[in-house]
Amino acid sequence: MRFSTRFCSTTASRSRGVGACLLLAALGLFAAQAASAERALAPVEVRNPWAPAPVVGGDGRTHLAYELHVTNFYRDTGVLRLRRIEVFADGDTRPLASYEGQALVQIVQPRPADDAAASDSVPVAAGMRAIAFLWLTLPTDRPAPRVLRHRLEFVDAKGALDLVDGARVVVDTKPPVKLGPPLRAGLWLAGEGPGNSRSHHWGSLVAANGQVTIPQRYALDVFGLDGNGRVLRDGAMDLTKSKREDWIGYGTEVLAVADGVVRDVRDGTPDHAPLEAQPEPDSLTAHGLYGNYVVLQIGPGVFVHYAHLQPGSVSVTPGQKLRRGQVLGRLGQSGNTNGPHLHIHVSNAATFEGSEGLPFVFDAYASPGTWTLTNAIDPDAKFSPARVEHHKQMPLDGEVLGF
């Protein structure tokens, strides 16, 4: 960096003038170094591989779901400890969201082991990457931002503060995909759903053919419930001894959620027994994970994936045109699953690998509240439905749906 002392010219003697200039230059350099120490630029790459798009959830609020890939770039940097992420909308100077302490640790992968000591920061080793899963809920009176800016604070191996201030993410303005009901009338629990960064859906990244994607970013596992919020039929009290037929919803017709064209199908894979131990899948593909399935294209770059269908029930073929509400199979327990349910998600490709999950809304459903699978198998849990109508909203994790 080049410094100039021309502003120091004076009528004083040459020696006194030079001394004053050197003093001012030294003070300026000290101030610059102090500012640099306070705002040292972290040797980190931060990128967002898939832009967030606003979607209204079942809580009536607008949400943005996305990831930041944070890489400690150099091998000789040492461990950087990520201690805070702040998110700013457009030109705001106050953060829209801030994550630190356990709130930060809980949304970043890799996650600490269950028996690890509690920490208020996330270690990112030299040359390694951490991934932050951000779920933003916008204020009710605020439109969706156009751009998100991020400030990340790190503590380096010497205890100094390093910063990233920028990491701009442009928000996608496309509206979410609109769907009709995927199942007949009844009560259905949306398990491992949107908003849960620790779910096996959003939290599962797929590396294939040179790219890392999240096909199941907004996926739902839909379990049938009876009027008391139970997942098992009357008389089947012992979950460990239950049969597939004991589960509410098993064999229910699965429906096309929109007009579309069938792009891929599979049938003939046997169902598993409930709670049966699952081997590692042969591949992170539809064939390795879905069991019996249908992939329905409902628009340009918009594909609906239905998985775990009952063997012998798939009634459609590739290239077939379907109308909304048409039966395409029955709810089963084939593929990588330990209980009968329908897996459904929307992505931008007909394949599982190499696809990105897209937000969607159901044009109408009624929710009697929230519930969990733990509650659904607990005979003492009290289910108190309070029917609320929803229109053009995306069910969130744990919502009960009525179609």
Domain check: are 242 and 345 in the same one?
yes
Domain range enclosing 229 = 177-402
Residue 375 sits in a domain of what CATH number? Answer: 2.70.70.10
Q: Under 8 Å CB-to-CB from 27, ≥6 apart: which residues?
A: none
Q: What's the number of CA atoms in the CB half-sphere (13 Å) around residue 40?
A: 15
Mean pLDDT value of segment 255-271: 98
Instruction: Tell whether the model's pLDDT for residue 338 goes beyond 80.
Output: yes
Domain check: are 156 and 214 in the same one?
no
Domain check: are 159 and 284 in the same one?
no
Domain check: are 301 and 378 in the same one?
yes
Boundary-marking domain end, from 105, 138, 170: 170
Domain check: are 212 and 102 in the same one?
no
Task: Note whether residue 16 is domain-resident.
Answer: no
- Could you tell me the pLDDT band of residue 22, with boundaries at 50, 70 and 90? very low
Domain check: are 190 and 295 in the same one?
yes
Domain check: are 195 and 292 in the same one?
yes
Task: Note whether residue 11 is domain-resident.
Answer: no
What pLDDT shows up at residue 114?
64
Mean pLDDT value of segment 283-304: 96
Task: Note whether residue 211 is domain-resident.
Answer: yes
| Structural contact between residues 203 and 109, judged by C-beta atoms closer than 8 angstroms | yes
Domain check: are 198 and 320 in the same one?
yes
Mean pLDDT value of segment 253-270: 98
pLDDT tens for each residue of 57-71 = 999 999 999 999 999
Mean pLDDT value of segment 29-52: 72
For 223-261, b/e burial (b = at least 16 CB within 10 A) is bbbbeebbbbeeebeeeeebebebbbbbebbbbbbbebe
Task: Note whether residue 265 is domain-resident.
Answer: yes
Q: Under 8 Å CB-to-CB from 165, ≥6 apart: which residues?
A: 39, 149, 151
Domain tally, the chain: 2
Residue 209 pairs in a beta bridge with none
Domain check: are 242 and 357 in the same one?
yes
Domain check: are 229 and 288 in the same one?
yes
Task: Note whether residue 1 is domain-resident.
Answer: no
| Structural contact between residues 223 and 231, judged by C-beta atoms closer than 8 angstroms | yes
| Structural contact between residues 122 and 108, judged by C-beta atoms closer than 8 angstroms | yes
Task: Note whether residue 12 is domain-resident.
Answer: no
Task: Note whether residue 34 is domain-resident.
Answer: no
Which residue matches tokens 């990588």?
A: 336
Boundary-marking domain end, from 170, 190, 222: 170
pTM for this predicted structure: 0.88
What pLDDT shows up at residue 24?
38
| pLDDT > 70 in the chain, percent | 89
Boundary-marking domain end, from 107, 136, 170: 170
> Which amino acid, 244?
R
Structure tokens at 111: 């996650």
Residue 89 sits in a domain of what CATH number? Answer: 2.60.40
* Cα angle: 167, vertex 172, 177; to 5 degrees: 145
| pLDDT > 90 in the chain, percent | 79
Domain check: are 299 and 349 in the same one?
yes
Instruction: Tell whether the model's pLDDT for residue 384 goes beyond 90.
Output: no
- Could you tell me the pLDDT band of residue 386, with boundaries at 50, 70 and 90? confident
**CA–CA dist 263, 258 (Å, integer):** 14
Task: Note whether residue 7 is domain-resident.
Answer: no
What pLDDT shows up at residue 234?
83
Domain check: are 222 and 159 in the same one?
no
